[in-house]
Chains A and B, each alone.
Chain A
């Protein structure tokens, strides 16, 4: 309810009345601070869920945290850079195994991301033109990405069994491609099995992103190219790929980071302990800490992995952005 006060000369009144303290923030302050207020919950969650645990992890890496100290972390003895020294000593067994798992992971990531991107691009381009059943195909292709990891990968582990698995049943019993029943879950083939399962799970995501990235490309460009006599592959190389470049830049980086850190696929496929040929670094760190109860060493390895991925990301980002600036 507002009451209208009797009109009084305002100049006089202001001179007499002392300036009132604002009960709320001034309008401009509110405008500046409101976005941060909206960001605050996300920031707090990010701190609690990501940053603080990472900082604790780094703290653990400087200590010898074994089963003797897991109940009282603050009493774990300070060991300085000892854990890092063990992890980086490539002539010692721990360091050598870590280096081996890093190399395996690099091969795994390159193959998985490369093949996923290639399949995603091919399917995305071929599914651009509308045809009967296109939506059905798109849904079918996206299914592996939508399935829960455990259910999907455990099914693959049954398919890949040597004696009872369907893959060997088809290859050996029905197609007679080889007499020797190959192993898929142990030995040297295990890395290729892992890559196959990872590509199966990952390529739908690439298809999704590339499909989205293809939408804004105007159809006229392709029609013009066709009139100029460009074939399909030339059109892809000179129109599709350059215009997809922004999407590809982010897609590849995201795929590389996710694939490098992939834990659930090897863990479920190999039942908790990976064969030597497919010893991914995430599994390796898990086995060096949780299974041997040496959390200090596991944390040191995790920090080294973090630094490695940071360097890769920075180098990649500089490289792709420089190319853009030159172009």
Chain B
């Protein structure tokens, strides 16, 4: 029995969005040398946010499929900007994913971030506010604010706490993203000029009824929005910032980047670019699909030849998110459900992989595959967890990756068989590069003496890795509750697209 909280009339979404920012403000007042307090406060703040997000799920009626828990307040009336939040089946899982990931990300940084701890935690908390805010914003400018606000903390995280080439990577990340988002900004302003509102539901209604766009306008606006999201995803050939950013970012940065930030791109496609400009999306469907397929195969091939584990996972992300983009442009229930599940799955498995690479990097200070080999005998528990994450990533039945990938490919195949076949090669290649990596990393002879004394997972690490495994198994064995949350919304969404 789900407890009924609605009588309190809590602004639940605002709580989920703003709690991390408020904790960040509180952290400003803490003495910078009191690292333990800073770490605990941030952790507690992120757990509190997780709690609020569970409250959000409890109040979410998954049978409806409409926008729920909406909050709308006037904000900048003179510019027509409102504070409009809402959550539906498309965004709820992503909000959950974000709120679920963050506490464990905080836990993972306790050993590796020693420099400017206070700033680091403030940046991560603000990043969380930005991410969740972008997922639940229903006002285009509000969305844009959060979307851009994520950029600065991430930029600082890569640039301050990153590796040797961090400044280059941070700058590349910032400029790539900024180019796209400013063009989207122009698109948003043009939409306002055309339809007179920034409010997403109202805008959708007006575009369909009173203020239709002609095909040229649709095309350019679609391109402006899609470019921005394609950079975030990142879609081939705009992916070049990702390997640099991933390799240079500290572990926490990589986890958030791969786990949540990249989904902003695919989410943006599903939420904004496609439903706002459906004709243009339909016209460019095959171009986008081919780019996605090239990305799938290209990312996989690049991953095959990487020696740096982090870079390998980064390229695997390019490949995995190619699947999601492909599915976004094929509007049937299976492919879209699969797309959303795959966003969550990729967040879980890749997030966990990055966490574990961080763990081993803390011990050995290298990410080169050649420096490892045979360590499964030295660190058995680590190896089991790592194997689980890898298997989830390549879609082994019984783990989360399988459900999403199967639905997604089934959906694609039933629409355009050729694309389904080509995309499936990505699954094969995925198994190839992942297992190849595991072989060189965990198995084989133990050639390096230094590797004999690597410590296995400690309690703290077990604590933050176990939840990921639990979620992977849950999503793999019993995904029904999650699919139920998603599908009513998607059914309405597809109906709307077909009109």
Bound pair: A and B?
Answer: no
